[in-house]
Homo-oligomer: A and B are copies of this chain.
Amino acid sequence: MFGENAKSVSESDVVFSSRIRLARNFKNYPFPFRMNEKQCREVIEKVKDTVFSTSYAAADSFRFYDISSMDPIERQAMVEKHLISPDLAAMQTLSGVIISKDENISIMINEEDHLRIQCLYRGMQLDRAWENCKRIDSMLEEKIDFAYDNSFGYLTCCPTNVGTGMRASVMLHLPALVMTGYIKGILDACSKLNVAVRGIYGEKSDASGNMFQISNQVTLGLTEEEIISSITNISSQIIQQERTLRSELYRQNSYRFEDRVFRSYGLISNARILSSEEAMKLLSDVRLGVDMGIIKDVDIDTLDEIMDITQPANLQKITGKALSAGERDIKRAEIIRDRLRHRPNT
């Protein structure tokens, strides 16, 4: 999923990924839901022309995908890899996405807004994501007139995005907070701080695999840097609490802790039938074990790959054919075993 090694990235024991996305709209076009086909096509072409003619997109570092002509499994596979939003995948009108080769940058066209610029990195790298978003934004702004109001800022289809048009988010792995039940307090505090908490697969998903996405709810009246700083600060506190609880749980009963992570490892590396839900749950324990140095000989990159594989559409994409839910559970277990094989138990 990511173009870099997990261990080289800061806070990667708790922070799975960092993401910035900017909402932008063309000045002289209605919002996507009111555009006709001709206008949709013009917007797509204008964005493509801009991206592929700049030196930024030198050589073959970007690629365009016509969402409208992709089959549902292909679209869903992109959603599962966080390259596009569920909304874009569900679009009935002409839409597309431009994705960088390393899959860190994606520019969605004709989603809720004309443009959704997204930069996604492993670990805690909001600043890097913001730097790259800014660069893409400037590049586009050179050729495109964005809808901008001097007092409101960037105008967007949904009023909640007006202003900076920015959403900064971090995906946190919080198994210890969940185990102890302290997660409830965190969620309450977040809602009071205008911070949104979601599951790993977007707005309506639950916290599968103990993954929680923390993001800003307010985009107006704050600078981009203030938003990033606020999410960074809140994340830091949550990260610290998660780490403290992990150590404390381990200190209190190391055998029970090890028992839990190794049982999950034993199950995920031996099961013949695995639902996506169970795989995510087991992966969370194994990831915790690896992050705490309890499980050796399994690397985080393998776990990230397995997390992609466990999702239904990516599984079918790898297999090369549509599978029923029952067939997927068998195939999922088979591929996971294959990825984990030849790794001795410690």
Contacts and interface: CB of A to CB of B under 8 A. Distances in A.
A333 B272 CA distance: 23
A266 B271 contact: yes
Interface string A253-269: 00110110011011111
Nearest to A258: B272
B345 A255 contact: no
Interface string A50-69: 00000000000000000000
Contact of A267 (B256, B266, B330, B341): B266
26 contacts: A255-B272, A255-B273, A255-B330, A256-B273, A258-B272, A259-B271, A259-B272, A259-B273, A259-B333, A262-B271, A262-B272, A263-B267, A263-B270, A263-B271, A265-B266, A265-B270, A266-B267, A266-B269, A266-B270, A266-B271, A267-B267, A269-B345, A270-B345, A337-B345, A341-B345, A342-B344
Contacts of A256: 272-273
A183 B344 CA distance: 39
- Please tell me how many copies of the chain the complex holds: 2
A271 B344 CA distance: 15
Contacts of A345: 269-270, 337, 341
Interface residues of A, number: 22
A330 B256 CA distance: 9
A21 B346 CA distance: 45
A79 B333 CA distance: 42
In the complex, the 9 A-B pairs of residues with the closest C-beta atoms, listed nearest first = A266-B270, A266-B266, A259-B272, A262-B270, A259-B273, A258-B272, A266-B267, A255-B272, A255-B330
A222 to B, nearest CB: 48
A341 B346 CA distance: 9
Contacts of A268: 266
Contacts of A259: 271-273, 333
A165 B287 CA distance: 61
Nearest to A260: B272
A252 to B, nearest CB: 14
A342 B342 CA distance: 11
Nearest to A268: B266
A333 B342 CA distance: 22
Contacts of A272: 255-256, 258-259, 262-263
